Amino acid sequence: MRENADNKLYGNLGHLAPKKASRPGMQIAVGGCLAQKDRDTIVKKAPWVDVVFGTHNIGKLPVLLERARVQEEAQVEIAESLEAFPSTLPTRRESAYAAWVSISVGCNNTCTFCIVPALRGKEKDRRPGDILAEIEALVAEGVSEVTLLGQNVNAYGSDIGDREAFSKLLRACGKIEGLERVRFTSPHPRDFTDDVIAAMAETPNVMPQLHMPLQSGSDPVLKAMRRSYRQERFLGIIEKVRAAIPHAAISTDIIVGFPGETEEDFEQTLHVVREARFAQAFTFQYSKRPGTPAAEMDGQIPKKVVQERYERLVALQEEISWEENKKQVGRTLELMVAEGEGRKDDSTHRLSGRAPDNRLVHFTKPDQEVRPGDVVTVEITYAAPHHLLAEGPVLDVRRTRAGDAWEKRNAEKSAKPSQPAGVLLGLPKIGVPEPLPAATSGCGCD
């Protein structure tokens, strides 16, 4: 969770005020880390908010909304710890064909740049039966892709006493009929065990994609960050993943300019980037988060130095992303058609989709109708640093239940444009909802 999240929240709330005024009965709830941190400040700054709830009491959201409606005043409720994973909350997903499924909340690590341990508390795992039941219900509704979500997904099981619980969960997902694509984010290198790599390689619907936050390639900086792996371990995991899943696209998160980072430390990060050959990296300039140990550390790096290192890192990663993308040219890939991912699609007469490894591909619009959630087969003809093109004709179109679900939802939306069903999770966006992101920044804490 970073500073611009605060700005985004209050900016969004400002946009929502006139919408609420023009729509009687509309309610606004703010939840999660920011709500936990700002508590009463939110209703002071934005008195049109109905409910503020913390990271631990999402399960009470329906009750709080109802209470706000009946009492006609804002309800602020922050629980200090989670009693049980809120498995029964009704949710409305933004996509008809892809869904996020939480497997745990909180984190047992104490990375010094991160506010999550202070705000979300210890890891609380959801029971495997509840997770699988939710996925099965989603698949029954037409969803064909799920992303398993947690601050540290492969620590999953520590709370329920099973170190191999995450690999078992992946294998169990492999048995769900109709579930075509399984992804997860984010794993922590400390907990990345061989059984997870084996489960990824041996479960056909687990996609050849791994998002694993590096944060820094320097051992002293990793130590100062309290990240308990070292460069050698990180590269060792990458090597094993590449051996088991040769076409895997590996992405990462990197922080530049952590307090005390020397030029030599930064060179170590560049070294790992060269060795790991990430398909993509989400790069961040370190910024102080009040309440984190790193904010109090000596050796804060001047902005100019951080900027210069950041630019070198981005330039190197762009070069590698492009080289790796060029290796895709000539491959025949199955894409799941996506909604709203190609800004220029209309003018270029293309559609967009995601390859199994989550690369974004723009392809020529076929004559026959193709809906988001359907699957097309294409040949890659061109590579740019951040996307691929398939300029030839589409080789095959497979209409799917996910496409049917998208069509059904669209028909319902146009029939009842102002009636959201259930509770929408996530920071609300103004205007057209974004599609599911390719990969979130590690640990979901930005």
Site for ligand SF4, rule CB under 6 A = 107, 109, 111, 114, 116-117, 151-152, 188, 443, 445
Cβ closer to ligand SF4: 284 or 406? 284
Shortest CB 318 distance to ligand SF4, Å: 25
Shortest CB 284 distance to ligand SF4, Å: 11
Shortest CB 148 distance to ligand SF4, Å: 15
Dihedral sign for Cα atoms in the order 40, 41, 45, 46 = negative
d(CA 1, CA 87): 24
Shortest CB 103 distance to ligand SF4, Å: 14
The neighbouring-strand residues paired with 337 are 353
What amino acid is encoded at 188 in this protein? H
d(CA 202, CA 206): 8
Q: What is the full DSSP assignment across 215-241?
A: B-S-HHHHHHTT----HHHHHHHHHHH
d(CA 84, CA 256): 37
Lookup result for tokens 């220029």: 344
Cβ closer to ligand SF4: 289 or 401? 289
Q: What CA dihedral angle connects 203, 205, 209 and 211, to 10 degrees?
A: -90
Lookup: tokens for 229: 């792996």
135 closest CA partner among 175, 105, 167: 175
Residue nearest to ligand SF4 (CB): 443
Specify the DSSP element, H or E, that contains 309.
helix 303-326
Cβ closer to ligand SF4: 54 or 403? 54
Cα three-residue angle 93-17-19, rounded to 5 degrees: 60
Cβ closer to ligand SF4: 215 or 328? 215
Cβ closer to ligand SF4: 120 or 309? 120
Shortest CB 442 distance to ligand SF4, Å: 6
Contact assessment for residue 171 and residue 197, using Cβ atoms and an 8 Å cutoff: no
Cβ closer to ligand SF4: 51 or 254? 254
Contact assessment for residue 352 and residue 341, using Cβ atoms and an 8 Å cutoff: yes
Cβ closer to ligand SF4: 107 or 196? 107
Cβ closer to ligand SF4: 20 or 226? 226
Shortest CB 37 distance to ligand SF4, Å: 14
Contact assessment for residue 214 and residue 254, using Cβ atoms and an 8 Å cutoff: yes
What amino acid is encoded at 430 in this protein? I
Cα 302 off chain centre by: 30
Residue 408 phi, psi (nearest 5): -65, -45
Lookup result for tokens 């049917």: 404
